[in-house]
């Protein structure tokens, strides 16, 4: 979340989407911590999808001509998504 806030996307709607997706990662991980079984995995899956969405927002912003730190956001996103994939298994 710090990286997303530190390097915001210029397009207001896309920035809002990226920030909401990023928050969703953190909140779904927190919620999963209080759950077991299928419910826990479901929240980890939602968090993983939101992580991918956050990276996609930065990729789209770059494709639209914005100068955003896509490589760094992608690197961090891969770490988080990989961790969540492991937790889902």
DSSP 12-71: HHHHHHHHHHHHHHHHHHHHHTT--HHHHHHHHHHHHHHHHHHHHHHHHHHHTT----HH
Q: How many CB atoms lie within 10 A of CB 45?
A: 16
Domain ranges of the chain: 2-88
Q: Does the model's pTM come out above 0.85? A: yes
Tell the CATH superfamily of the 2-88 domain: 23S rRNA-intervening sequence (1.20.1440.60)
Task: Count how many Cα atoms sit within 13 Å of the Cα of residue 37 in the half-sphere of its side chain.
Answer: 1
Digit-by-digit pLDDT tens for the chain (89 residues) are 788 889 899 999 999 999 999 999 999 999 999 999 999 999 999 999 999 999 999 999 999 999 999 999 999 999 999 999 999 99
Q: Taking a C-beta distance cutoff of 8 angstroms, is the pair 84, 53 a contact?
A: no
Q: Taking a C-beta distance cutoff of 8 angstroms, is the pair 73, 58 a contact?
A: yes
């Amino acid at each position: 979340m710090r990286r997303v806030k530190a390097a915001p996307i210029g397009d207001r709607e896309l920035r809002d989407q990226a920030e909401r997706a990023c928050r969703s990662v953190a909140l779904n991980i927190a919620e999963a911590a209080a759950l077991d079984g299928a419910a826990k995995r479901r929240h980890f899956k939602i968090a993983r999808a939101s992580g991918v969405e956050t990276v996609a927002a930065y990729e789209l912003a770059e494709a639209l001509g914005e100068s955003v730190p896509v490589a760094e956001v992608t690197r961090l996103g891969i770490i988080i998504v990989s961790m969540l994939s492991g937790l889902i298994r």
